[in-house]
Homo-oligomer: A and B are copies of this chain.
Amino acid sequence: MQDISPPRAQTARERARDQITAEIVAAARIRLAESGPADLSLRAVARDVGMVSSAVYRYFASRDELLTALLVLAYDDLGAATERADAAVADRDDFQARWFASLRGIRRWALANPGDYALLYGSPVPGYAAPQTTVEPAVRVILVILRIVTEGHAAGAIVVPASSDVGSDGGPGDAALAHAVGGAVQFVRSRGLVDGEVPLELVVRTLIAWTTVFGTISFELFGHLVGSVTDTDAYFDLLADRLFRDLGFGGPGSRDHD
Contact = CB atoms under 8 A, between A and B. Distances in A.
Interface of A: 35-39, 96, 100, 118, 121-127, 130, 135, 164, 166-168, 170, 176-177, 179-184, 187, 204-205, 207-208, 211-212, 214-216, 218-219, 222-224, 226-231, 234-235, 237-239, 241-242, 244-246, 250, 256, 258
B216 A211 contact: yes
A217 to B, nearest CB: 9
Contacts of A36: 38, 123-127
Contact of A179 (B118, B181, B234, B245): B234
B241 A166 contact: yes
B122 A235 contact: no
Contacts of A208: 212, 216, 239, 242
B219 A211 contact: yes
Contacts of A39: 38, 126-127
Contacts of A214: 215, 219, 224
